[in-house]
Amino acid sequence: MNELVESIGKCIEFGKISKASPYPKSMLGQEGADELTRCALAGGTGPDVILQACNDAMQRIGDKFGRNEVFVPELLMAAKAMNAVMLQLKPFFQSGKIKSKGKFILGTVAGDLHDIGKNLVGMVVEGNGWEVIDLGVDVDASKFIEKIRENPSSTVGLSALLTTTMENMSRTVKDIKSLFPHIRVIVGGAPLTLKAAEQMGADGYAPDPQGVVTLLDGYSAGI
């Protein structure tokens, strides 16, 4: 991997979006993920090489998050830097030069308007090579079902922050599974536990964005 691509990975890991962004202070005034990606693509670096460096960087920051070495603000900045790269790589996905790992339908369940966790998951998952279909917040089961019909080989992610919406999440899992038993459903959010997810009938539970990526990659590999 050349030095430029390594620098892109470093920018993602430490949340350096662009030269104008003030974060992190240790990289103030330096070019960020946005400029470096443009430079790498213009110089002939393959988009798949850049994507792999990005995946590796998100894995590193995800591991740090799991060890409580960084927290949500740092993870969010890394995801924003990743998003700056993905905006430039999207045309390559659309042209088929980069193959998507699959489709991930994502939304916050009915009755819940919180989107920070959902958005963070979406950015991290997209940065790891998945096509994310974000349905937004306060999404009832019928909307998930409609989108599954349009994308029958997708995986579904349900998010919630409020304890009061756990029943809605459980009902959504059951409605999806009753119609599409083959569709895998991942749940997550502050009130969730692995036991609660199992009781709902969900296929997977992830406490953080990197956990979602791990589950998705496992499903893709047939694990």
pLDDT in tens, 103-113: 999 999 999 99
Cα 132 from Cα 123, distance rounded (Å): 8
pLDDT of 25 above 80: yes
120 pLDDT exceeds 80? yes
Reported pTM: 0.81
pLDDT band at 167 (very low <50, low <70, confident <90, very high): very high
Torsion of CA 56, 59, 63, 68, to 10 degrees: 110
Judge whether residue 190 has pLDDT over 90: no
pLDDT of residue 1: 54
**Tokens 């349009």 sit at which residue?**
150
Q: Looking at residue 157, what is its pLDDT?
A: 98
Mean pLDDT over the full length of the chain = 92
pLDDT 10s digits, 130-155? 999 999 999 999 999 999 999 999 99
Helix (H, G, I), strand (E, B) or coil at 10: helix
In the chain, which residues fall in CATH 1.10.1240.10?
3-95
The Cα 131–Cα 103 span in angstroms is: 5
Of residues 62 and 5, more confidently modeled? 5
Of residues 18 and 52, which shows the higher confidence score? 18
Question: Domain spanning 3-95: which CATH class is it, in words?
Answer: mainly alpha
**Residue 187 has what pLDDT?**
98
Question: Which of these, 124, 142, 116, 126, lies nearest to 93 by C-alpha position?
Answer: 126
Q: What is the DSSP string of 181-196?
A: TTS-EEEE-TT--HHH
CA dist., res. 60 & res. 14, Å (int): 10
State residue 159 phi and psi, 5-degree precision.
Answer: -120, 150
The pLDDT of residue 94: 76
Please give the average per-residue pLDDT across 168-185, as a whole number.
Answer: 98
Give the residue-averaged pLDDT of 89-95. Answer: 84
- For domain 103-220, the CATH architecture is 3-Layer(aba) Sandwich (3.40)
Q: Where in the chain is the domain with CATH 3.40.50.280?
A: 103-220
Instruction: Tell me the average pLDDT across 18-29.
Output: 95
User: Residue 188: enclosing H or E segment and its boundaries?
Assistant: strand 185-188
